[in-house]
Structure 1
Amino acid sequence: MRLRRTRGRDPLGLRRVLSDRLLPALVAAMALLAALTLAGARGAGGLVARWEGGAATALTLQLPHGAGTDRALAALDALPEVAEARLADPARLKALLRPWLGEVPTIPLPQIIELRLARLPSDAAALTARIAAAVPGATVEAHGVWVARLLALARSLEAIALAVLLLVAGIATAVVAVAVRAGIAARREAIAILHALGATDGDIAARFARRVALLVGIGALGGTLVAAPVLAAFADLAAPLLGGRAGAGPLDLPWAVLPWADLALLPPAAALIGWVTAQLTLRRWLRRLP
């Protein structure tokens, strides 16, 4: 016997036993955590890409005032590790010093040469020593050493975020399984009667699965919608770290930079998890019936 799918009929009473408030609320909270974690992983990946191709390969060379810069630039260009060497603009240096020293027109400033490496060195100390030997009297500031540590931290955060995302998915599966078992316990007699009358395992499981998938999908959609403005605010705070500018106010948030494709996948992915979990849980219980 196949259960009739007439709209509005609920022969198993699932609308009463599978609450349309508690389960969606729990899933919404987990979807919010998943959205934040997913965006955090994407953000860490973006920082890794930016630092790895930019600041990690940047060095600064300081020469005493009046030292010949042409010879230093020629020596630096001859090094295979150096992709670009250029003299820093004195006006920009004065602008950087102005907040601390004010106007400094008469103070002799050192000569600053900015270096861009061809790639991140495996031994930063050895490269710094070779650059210092090529330009005697120069002081080398290897920013890449610290950025390399930041890269390792960002990669660790990215891996942790993905692990947390898997953990959230596992907890969501457990919550759905518990809700389905509670529904089975509440409607045990009705399920047994329908099963004895000839209802197939697939029909009974489909009833539960559709109801669970609907509730889980609605909850995940709500959690994702709540997460969107939170993520936009975080993106606004992180904009200076990624080379952008923070917004002027709450209405000027960087909505376009949010991982909309990933966020759009959360509700259907959650609904699929709920559907599969309900199917497996109910079919396993039905196999024990005589």
Structure 2
Amino acid sequence: MAERRTRYARDPLGLKRALSDRLLPGLVAAMALLAALALAGSRGAAALKDRWQQGAAAAVTVQLPPEQAARMDDALSLLRAMPGVAAAEAVDSARMRELLRPWLGEVPALPLPSVLELRLENLSIDPAPIGRQLAEAVPGAELEAHGIWVARLAALARSVQGVALAVLALVVGVAVAVVAVATRAGLASRRQAIEILHDLGATQGDIAGRFARRIGLLAAGGALAGAALAVPTLGAMASLAAPLSGGVVQPWSALPWLDLLLLPPVAGAIGWATAQFSVRRWLKRLP
């Protein structure tokens, strides 16, 4: 009997029975998992866009026909002396065959064009004059800039980032709706107890605070579980995306750890605020 009175004093509204500690946390965990994936997708797309724009956009390829292979040193000297060219290096035949192997299989022992890689000092430099000057000195030399492809890839990355942020906003909206529905269900199941406490002098702040604390804790716990589930999923995705980032970043270090750590407190705050608003609005309708 004494134990029951103690539980009643701590939970006079019976919220532990009214607000399930399984259904709401489970739904919030699913929302948190989706939010983690959306955040990781947005940050990953932004990182790839920056890498492409800062790296590949400044890279230029020069191709010399096989009959001009002997003039590679002349071409390199000319290119390195040009203003706006930060570096110029020759691509050896072994690397060329390695690059072509995924497309052509084992490349036969045929004469391959000589390829040089340039890196411009900044993205605003127009490579066309460089190509014309090189073609005059070394007939048949062709210059290819990657700016158009980088622009298309950057646009794709921005689209992916926008979709990820839209998904995140949708997840937040759904989470607010789920918490609001759970709060209203709890209010309906404990209506009589709430009315009695209200008639005895309990303030709206006290009643709303009890609901908000309970739902905030449940939402934070569910988000913690969702964030934990997101870690191996994001780790696997980071491993798959490693080649796109140059393969120099360890997958686990690339995870958005700060975002994952912030998910539980943010979910708890959303649950607390939504419950406060819902309960106070419901209490205003009481006679």
Residue 64 (1) aligns with residue 65 (2): yes
CA distance in 2 between counterparts of 1:155 and 1:79 reads 34
Q: Which moved more, 1:128-137 or 1:77-86?
A: 77-86
CA distance in 1 between counterparts of 2:211 and 2:100 reads 68
Please list the CA deviations of residues 29-65 of structure 1 after superposition, one character each: whole Å capped at 9, or x if unmatched. Answer: 1111001111111111111121111112211100123
Name the SS for the 1:19 alignment partner: coil
Structure 1: runs of 5 or more not aligned: 1-5, 247-252
CA distance in 2 between counterparts of 1:96 and 1:46 reads 24
Are the aligned partners of 1:76 and 1:82 in contact in 2 as well (CA < 8 Å)? yes
Name the SS for the 2:66 alignment partner: coil
Residue 228 (1) aligns with residue 231 (2): yes
Cα distance, 1:196 vs. partner? 1.1
CA distance in 1 between counterparts of 2:143 and 2:229 reads 48
Compute the TM-score of the two structures, normalised by the length of structure 2: 0.87
- 1:249 is aligned to none
- 2:205 is aligned to 202
CA distance in 2 between counterparts of 1:140 and 1:7 reads 79
Structure 2: runs of 5 or more not aligned: 1-5
Taking the TM superposition and a 5 Å limit, the aligned residue runs for 1:68-107 are 68-97=71-100, 100-102=105-107, 104=109, 107=110
Give aligned-pair identity as a percent: 61
Cα distance, 1:21 vs. partner? 1.3
Cα distance, 1:108 vs. partner? 3.4
CA-based RMSD: 2.4
Aligned partner of 1:279 among 276, 280, 284:
276
Compute the TM-score of the two structures, normalised by the length of structure 1: 0.86
Q: Which moved more, 1:277-286 or 1:131-140?
A: 131-140
Please list the CA deviations of residues 44-99 of structure 1 after superposition, one character each: whole Å capped at 9, or x if unmatched. Answer: 11111211111122111001235323443344345444322222223423444567
CA distance in 2 between counterparts of 1:82 and 1:161 reads 37
- 1:13 is aligned to 14
Query: Partner letter of residue 61 of structure 2?
Result: T
Residue 120 (1) aligns with residue 137 (2): no
* Residues 84 and 277 (structure 1), Cα distance of their counterparts in 2 relative to 1, 3 Å cut: same
Residue 263 (1) aligns with residue 266 (2): no
Cα distance, 1:101 vs. partner? 4.3
Residue 169 (1) aligns with residue 166 (2): no
* Residues 198 and 55 (structure 1), Cα distance of their counterparts in 2 relative to 1, 3 Å cut: same
- 1:111 is aligned to 114
CA distance in 2 between counterparts of 1:283 and 1:57 reads 58
Cα distance, 1:271 vs. partner? 0.5
Q: Which moved more, 1:177-186 or 1:62-71?
A: 62-71
* Residues 97 and 20 (structure 1), Cα distance of their counterparts in 2 relative to 1, 3 Å cut: closer
Runs of 4+ in 1 over 6 A off after TM superposition: none
